[in-house]
């Protein structure tokens, strides 16, 4: 094959490599780290390991103690492995807490779902529908987040007792479900309002209005399908808050109709506490929230970040 070279052009062999191609064909070399960078990396790893050990040390004590026998537990040997491994504490803790865990599961699931739905509706209205006084009402919603629970426990208890006199079935878990829904609405509203304000374009809402869609149909067909990140955050948040709550349970329920935190408090009380049983009960009570964060932790972080950048 003959290559024609025009006047003023240099002749380039067919298989020649141009200077730009030479850089492309070169194998990518790993950038060498400087001694200062290596030192900082080692320091970071040491700090991570230190804080991990610091956080996991109480969990280690709980786990080790839960497999000991009551006679084999001693404060001087609390950090040592048991000489005789026993699951008696786990069995006793499960027998004592199983009914309360069932009640807590119903309470946490219903409270999380209902408060997330109400928060989503409120957030949609505050983010996309402006009306007179909307900012003032939104501030009042947020004000509910900063009222200490301790400040309202006495009037709240009196109000719930009045309701229970006319509806005895409302005592116990239904009372806690209502309280967690009401006090979960402000944080859920804030999360969804910020999410819809940044992640859902207003042009889509305006286009739905032009097409004749009503407010509810716009929410159900356009906004709700893209609300999964917000729901993941609020559901995990509300489930954890309801499951770990003890203050509402202490004032509004008793050991026979209360959640697992109340049962755990009863398990730990007494003149001669059974420490292996108590430690096993603590681990049993925290398993649901631990499993939720293990399964949905990455979605929780991504959901928090969704809508933060427009």
Nearest to 160 by CA among 176, 149, 147, 145: 176
**171 and 276, same domain (yes or no):** yes
For the chain, the domain total comes to: 2
Alpha carbon separation from 230 to 2, 67, 123 (Å, rounded): 67, 40, 10
CA–centroid distance for 235 within its chain = 7
| Res 1: pLDDT | 46
**49 and 140, same domain (yes or no):** no
**Residue 28 located in a structural domain:** no
pTM over 0.75: yes
**187 and 293, same domain (yes or no):** yes
- Given 85, 114, 148, which residue is the final one in a domain? 85
pLDDT per position in the chain (310 positions), as tens? 445 444 444 454 555 554 544 444 445 556 777 888 888 888 999 999 999 999 888 889 889 988 988 887 877 777 888 888 888 889 999 998 999 999 999 999 999 999 999 999 999 989 888 888 888 888 888 887 888 888 888 999 899 988 888 888 888 899 999 999 999 999 999 999 988 888 888 888 888 888 887 878 888 888 888 888 889 889 999 999 999 999 999 899 888 888 999 889 888 877 778 888 999 999 999 989 888 888 877 777 666 666 554 4
**Residue 135 located in a structural domain:** yes
Cβ atoms of 72 and 82 within 8 Å: the answer is yes
- Domain span at 51: 41-85
**Residue 61 located in a structural domain:** yes
**186 and 47, same domain (yes or no):** no
| Res 89: pLDDT | 87
Alpha carbon separation from 303 to 145, 288, 300 (Å, rounded): 21, 20, 5
| Res 47: pLDDT | 93
Nearest to 97 by CA among 283, 276, 289: 283
**113 and 131, same domain (yes or no):** yes
Q: What is the DSSP letter of 172?
A: T
**116 and 136, same domain (yes or no):** yes
Cβ atoms of 280 and 90 within 8 Å: the answer is yes
**Residue 244 located in a structural domain:** yes
**Residue 19 located in a structural domain:** no
Question: How far apart are the C-alpha atoms of 310 and 226, rounded to whole Å?
Answer: 15
| Res 40: pLDDT | 87
**191 and 218, same domain (yes or no):** yes
């Amino acid at each position: 094959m003959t290559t024609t070279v025009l006047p003023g052009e240099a002749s380039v062999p067919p298989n020649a490599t141009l200077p730009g191609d030479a850089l492309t064909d070169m194998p990518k070399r790993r950038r060498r780290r400087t001694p200062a960078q290596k030192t900082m990396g080692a320091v970071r790893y040491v700090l991570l390991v230190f804080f991990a050990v610091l956080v996991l040390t109480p969990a280690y004590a709980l786990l080790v103690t839960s497999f000991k026998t009551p006679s084999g537990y001693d404060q001087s040997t609390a950090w040592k492995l048991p000489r005789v491994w026993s699951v008696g504490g786990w069995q006793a803790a499960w027998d004592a807490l199983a009914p309360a865990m069932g009640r807590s599961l119903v309470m946490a699931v219903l409270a999380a779902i209902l408060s997330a739905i109400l928060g989503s509706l409120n957030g949609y209205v505050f983010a996309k529908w402006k009306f007179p006084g909307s900012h003032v009402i939104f501030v009042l919603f947020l004000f509910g987040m900063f009222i200490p629970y301790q400040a309202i426990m006495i009037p709240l208890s009196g109000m719930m007792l009045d309701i229970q006199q006319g509806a005895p079935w409302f005592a116990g878990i239904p009372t806690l479900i209502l309280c967690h829904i009401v006090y979960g609405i402000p944080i859920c509203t804030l999360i969804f309002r910020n999410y819809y304000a940044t992640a859902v374009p207003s042009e889509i809402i305006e286009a739905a209005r032009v097409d004749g869609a009503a407010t509810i149909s716009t929410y159900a067909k356009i906004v709700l399908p893209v609300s999964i990140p917000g729901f993941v955050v609020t559901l995990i948040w509300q489930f954890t808050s309801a499951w770990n709550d003890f203050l509402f349970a202490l004032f509004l329920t008793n050991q026979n109709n209360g959640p697992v935190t109340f049962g755990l408090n009863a398990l730990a009380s007494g003149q001669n506490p059974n420490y292996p049983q108590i430690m096993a009960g603590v681990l049993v009570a925290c398993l649901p929230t631990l499993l939720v964060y293990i399964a949905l932790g990455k979605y929780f972080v991504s959901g928090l970040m969704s809508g933060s950048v427009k």
